Chains A and B, each alone.
Chain A
Amino acid sequence: MTDTAAVASARWRLKRPSIIPGFGLTLGFSLVYLSLIILIPIAGLFWRSAALGWSGFFAVLTDERTLRALYVSFGTAFVAALVNVVFGVITAWMLTRYDFPGRRLIDAMVDLPFALPTAVAGIALTALYAPQGWIGSLFMPFRIAFTPLGIVVALIFIGLPFVVRTVQPVMEEIDREVEEAAATLGANRFQTVSRVILPGLAPAILTGFALAFARGVGEYGSVIFIAGNIPYVSEIAPLLIVIKLEEFNYAGATAIATIMLLISFAMLFVINLIQAWSRRRYGNA
């Protein structure tokens, strides 16, 4: 418990005085637990990655199969996040503005992708969108499952609540008077929505997009069933990590994981920037 001791000795510098007890104990425990579970293992990944050296790192990254897998992961996550922005905003609009029977139920259902295990989502979507499935058979001879399009379907499922739940609270806060003002100034409804409402929602929509995109890039469980996993075509980067691990190619797995981790950290940074910008400009996050 050296952390606790260090924190306790420095507490009058680091923290504002308070009569509430337990600061050293709770912060110390939190930091130790955080380090053991999260920070040290991640540091280990970077350490192993550094041991590869630049040449070893680049050899893995410039490999054709790795590049294709990264392209498939980022490309499908981008498309799925775009689809989710369109339908997520419509869904959030429906849930905040319209009242109809079953609205509560639908509102609760939106969180299903958060609660449903990804493997279950994966096999259910595959059964539906496979050529002989309920939805897949409607689109034959055009195939959805076992192509990159199948990956997009899975990622739409996974990302939907991120967009709806980021946009919905901001939508609820919109002042109706602003819309009425736009209408009295002669704007038709379409102009009011596109020029008054949507710009105000932009930061929330952007955040929802970024969250859905970031989640989609790393998603594994729901994708591997529906993707078909054809190398160079529908093989995602997380799957390639698993394949490299099963071949005991730790160097390859480490290099791909490191680049994905760096990109997710960059995305996290961008999301925080959007939210800080939105707080400054609109007073909400």
Chain B
Amino acid sequence: MPDPLRTASGRSRAFRNPADEGLGAKIILILLALAFLGFFLVLPLVSVFVEAFRKGWMEYYEALVEPDAAASIHLTLMVAAIAVPLNLVFGLCASWAIAKFEFKGKAFLITLIDLPFSISPVISGLVYVLLFGSGSLLGPLLKSWGIEILFAVPGIVLATVFVTFPFVARELIPLMEDQGTGDEEAALSLGASGWQTFWYVTLPNIKWGLLYGVLLCNARAMGEFGAVSVVSGRIRGVTTTMPLHVEILYNEYNMVAAFAVASLLTFLALVTLALKTLLELRFGAGNAGGRH
């Protein structure tokens, strides 16, 4: 095998596939792409951990066990534990109705489900402020019953449910449409009940896609910033989720603490990516396309 680099200088003409770039062009393209990804993806990732450990392990540890930080971690986990199952149930229902039946207005329904993806997170929060705020009809009524939604945990949950709304449904709809209705019809004709059909036939078929959707939904639920910041009121240690706590610390120039909390969220993102890649490689989940 002659050195392809030398062929370019004309010393020996080896075969080069004419439907392929030369080695020089390849190297330039790869270097361009790697430099770009390095500047915009890798260095930001590295810098989170460098900044977090700038003053050593002790400072890092103390920033995480500090009561407000611990409260924000607790709140974030709680919000995700409510929002993700809600959207999981919705995703199963919507994909069952859409993928297993033919009815009018289906395409329009799918468009509506995708709607939160094309709305600015700030507007997702704003709609709830308008719905439950002081100038609205509902807000004062609920307040007289002693129910607080805005600047309290229910508002944060609602805003999170809004922005993570499409994730599970989006993964499941194309998957279940691909699988068709044959398996379910066979099960039903053999005497299985509707619930048994779902539990023993449909669910095993979609479990990896479902896990994939839940994973993405959870990552967004724990990391949502814009929508939650509008409805939270930022009462420290009470209505601050982890991303909001990062912002507060950052604005107080408490960089080590801000990046320490941020590093936990980054770790979560890396775990999500690793599991996602694993699911894609092993089970071919997530072939639905790149609109997240």
Contact of B262 among A112, A119, A267 (CB under 8 A): A119
Q: Please, what's the 1-or-0 string for B39-63, where 1 marks a CB less than 8 Å from any CB in chain A?
A: 1111111011001000000000000
**Chain B residues, CB < 8 A from A90:** 29, 32-33, 36
A118 to B122 CA separation, bound complex (whole angstroms): 13
Contact of A124 among B36, B90, B114, B262 (CB under 8 A): B262
A245 to B90 CA separation, bound complex (whole angstroms): 31
Query: Taking the complex as formed, is B1 at the interface, i.e. its CB lies under 8 A from any CB of chain A?
Result: no
- What is the distance, in angstroms, from B202's C-beta to the closest C-beta of chain A? 10
23 A-B interface contacts by CB (under 8 A):
A15-B101, A18-B100, A18-B101, A20-B101, A20-B181, A38-B112, A41-B128, A44-B131, A45-B127, A91-B36, A108-B273, A118-B223, A123-B48, A127-B51, A183-B18, A189-B18, A189-B21, A219-B121, A221-B225, A238-B121, A238-B226, A241-B122, A260-B123
- What is the distance, in angstroms, from A229's C-beta to the closest C-beta of chain B? 12
- What is the distance, in angstroms, from B199's C-beta to the closest C-beta of chain A? 12
- What is the distance, in angstroms, from B154's C-beta to the closest C-beta of chain A? 13
Query: Taking the complex as formed, is A128 at the interface, i.e. its CB lies under 8 A from any CB of chain B?
Result: yes
Contact A87 to B162, CB < 8 A, known contacts A19-B185, A267-B118: no
Residues of B that sit less than 8 Å from A by CB: 18-22, 25-26, 29-30, 32-34, 36-37, 39-45, 47-48, 51, 89-90, 92-94, 96-97, 100-105, 109, 111-116, 118-123, 126-131, 133, 135-136, 158, 161-162, 165, 181, 184-185, 188-189, 194, 197-198, 216, 219, 222-226, 229-230, 242-244, 246-247, 250, 255, 258-259, 262, 265-266, 269-270, 272-274, 276-277, 289-292
Contact A20 to B162, CB < 8 A, known contacts A106-B37, A120-B243, A214-B118: no
Query: Taking the complex as formed, is A209 at the interface, i.e. its CB lies under 8 A from any CB of chain B?
Result: no
B43 touches A254 (CB 8 A): no
Contact of A120 among B19, B30, B119, B262 (CB under 8 A): B262
The binding surface of chain A is classed by DSSP as helix
A124 to B291 CA separation, bound complex (whole angstroms): 24
Query: Taking the complex as formed, is A50 at the interface, i.e. its CB lies under 8 A from any CB of chain B?
Result: no
A123 touches B130 (CB 8 A): no
- What is the distance, in angstroms, from A137's C-beta to the closest C-beta of chain B? 13
Contact A26 to B93, CB < 8 A, known contacts A119-B247, A124-B262: yes
A14 touches B104 (CB 8 A): yes
A11 to B105 CA separation, bound complex (whole angstroms): 13
